[in-house]
Amino acid sequence: MNADAGTIAMPDTIDEALDAMAANPDLIPVAGATDLFVHWPEHLEAHERSYLDLSHLHELRGITFTEETITLGAGTSYWDVIRDPRFRDELPILVNAARTVGAVQIQTRGTWAGNIANASPAADGVPALMACDATVHLASAARGETTVPLADFYLGYKQMRREPDELITRITLPRRAYDFQYFEKVGARNAQTIAKVGVSMTHAAESGWRIAAASVAPVTLRCRNLEAQLDDEGRPASPDDFESALQADGVAPIDDIRSTAAYRSKVIACIIWHALA
């Protein structure tokens, strides 16, 4: 236990937050806490850490639409997107993804940026954002702002391109006239479930296909080989024809408490194939 055990920093501004992170790189940022606090009392000793509460940082709030870009402040919750008619009209993929996260009580607290930083391979928000070519904006006191495409953000299981002194401040998406948006999550039931397999897909004339897959690898995967196959050849005769592209993309599911590798391999190909019907 260190001297800072079980402390909480509650900054009022992003600058204060970044200074605190620079001074103590062990600080754990807390946004919605919907993952951090699961079974919290059973792990109190492990939680005797130093935290940085982001929930009252007004600078992280807000959603803006400009001609070319949509910006989600890092404090944007799922519910903020669900209730924003601009997303219902323009990016229903994000609304559909948000509506599968837990239930309303989670959607009102959990944030898109927290979903990114939590780095679960079974995330629901991350694949939907990835299929929209999201960019992650990070800030640090020492180096100012940097950006990383979400599709390049993950390096391995729970490994990401965020330095300990960096905070996600916002997420940006290019505005596109998508002619296809698709989100599917296969779980044990509709509400309150974690994905056995997740697929997010978009298509626009300017960008071609974007496909992101969840729960089939140690990270949320962008499936570039499959995108290229679809761009070049369109929908194949059978879902089996996706196999080599998906393998090249790193789809390598495992058996765990929620599903099996065999089921996941079969289902991801079938979902994509049916989505294209």
Partner 1 sequence: MPQIQLTLNGSPATVDYEPHHRLLDTLRYGLALTGTKEGCGEGECGACTVLIDGRPANSCLVPTYQARGCDVRTVESIPAETLRPLLESGATQCGACTPGVVVTSAWVRSNPELIETHTLRQLMAGNLCRCTGYDGIIDGVQQGLDMDAESRGAKP
- Beta partners for 146? 138
Tokens of 173: 């998406």
- Beta partners for 144? 140
- Find the binding residues for partner 1 in span 107-166 (CB under 8 A): 108-109
Should residue 177 be labelled a site residue for partner 1 when binding is judged by CB under 8 A? Answer: no
* Residue 209 · residue 249 · CB < 8 Å: no
Should residue 41 be labelled a site residue for partner 1 when binding is judged by CB under 8 A? Answer: yes
Should residue 190 be labelled a site residue for partner 1 when binding is judged by CB under 8 A? Answer: yes
Nearer to partner 1, 105 or 159 (CB): 105
Question: Given CA atoms 239, 244, 250, 253 in this order, what sign does their dihedral have?
Answer: positive
Nearer to partner 1, 53 or 241 (CB): 53
Instruction: Tell me the closest approach of the beta carbon of residue 31 to partner 1, in angstroms.
Output: 10
Q: What is the rounded CA–CA span in Å between residue 132 and residue 72?
A: 13
Q: What is the rounded CA–CA span in Å between residue 34 and residue 137?
A: 22
Instruction: Tell me the closest approach of the beta carbon of residue 106 to partner 1, in angstroms.
Output: 6
Chain length of the chain:
277
Should residue 55 be labelled a site residue for partner 1 when binding is judged by CB under 8 A? Answer: yes
Q: What is the rounded CA–CA span in Å between residue 66 and residue 75?
A: 19
* Residue 235 · residue 226 · CB < 8 Å: no
- Beta partners for 28? 51
Q: What is the rounded CA–CA span in Å between residue 149 and residue 138?
A: 11
What is the CA angle 41-46-50, rounded to 5? 100
Nearer to partner 1, 12 or 15 (CB): 12
Should residue 105 be labelled a site residue for partner 1 when binding is judged by CB under 8 A? Answer: yes
Indicate which single residue of 12, 23, 58, 104 sits in contact with partner 1 (rule: CB under 8 A).
104
Q: Site for partner 1 (CB under 8 A): how many residues?
A: 35
Instruction: Tell me the closest approach of the beta carbon of residue 69 to partner 1, in angstroms.
Output: 26
Should residue 53 be labelled a site residue for partner 1 when binding is judged by CB under 8 A? Answer: yes
Should residue 63 be labelled a site residue for partner 1 when binding is judged by CB under 8 A? Answer: no
Instruction: Tell me the closest approach of the beta carbon of residue 104 to partner 1, in angstroms.
Output: 5
Cα first-last separation, the chain: 57
Binding to partner 1 by CB under 8 A, coded x per residue (else -) over 81-100, reads -x-----x----------x-
Should residue 185 be labelled a site residue for partner 1 when binding is judged by CB under 8 A? Answer: no
Instruction: Tell me the closest approach of the beta carbon of residue 108 to partner 1, in angstroms.
Output: 4
- Beta 50-53 vs 28-30: how paired, if at all? parallel
Q: Which helix (H) or strand (E) holds 211?
A: strand 208-214
Instruction: Tell me the closest approach of the beta carbon of residue 83 to partner 1, in angstroms.
Output: 8
> Which residues here bind partner 1, judged by CB under 8 A?
6-8, 10, 30, 32-34, 37-42, 44, 47-48, 51, 53, 55-56, 79, 82, 88, 99, 102-106, 108-109, 190-192
